[in-house]
Amino acid sequence: MSDVFVLEQRIPYEGACVFGVFSSVKSAVELALAQTDRDYNWYTVTKWSVDGGPVDVASIMEDGVEWDDDFSPIVDSE
């Protein structure tokens, strides 16, 4: 089994819900960027792998993508 990227929608004062599970970080981020509610809600991408726990990858907000310092995305090649 390979890594998966979980996209969550974060709703202020209500919590979070899983918005999708993807095999590439590019697909998860593209879907989040396509959402029109980013002025109120925001989205997070977390990488899950068999050999390790969750790793924060990115937050997608109204002004774009903020990558986690420990994650160096190679979005174009995925």
pLDDT tens digits for range 5-47: 999 999 888 888 999 999 999 999 999 999 988 888 899 999 9
Environment class of 67 (CB within 10 Å of its CB; exposed 0-12, middle 13-18, buried 19+): middle
Domain ranges (residues) in the chain: 4-71
pLDDT over 70 (residue 78): no
CA–CA separation, 35 and 52 (whole Å)? 30
pLDDT in tens, 47-73: 998 888 888 999 999 888 989 877 666
Global pTM exceeds 0.75: yes
Residue entry with tokens 């907000």: 61
Q: Is-contact 28 7, C-beta < 8 A?
A: yes
Q: Is-contact 32 45, C-beta < 8 A?
A: yes
**Beta carbons within 8 Å of 75's beta carbon, 6+ residues apart:** 25, 26, 29
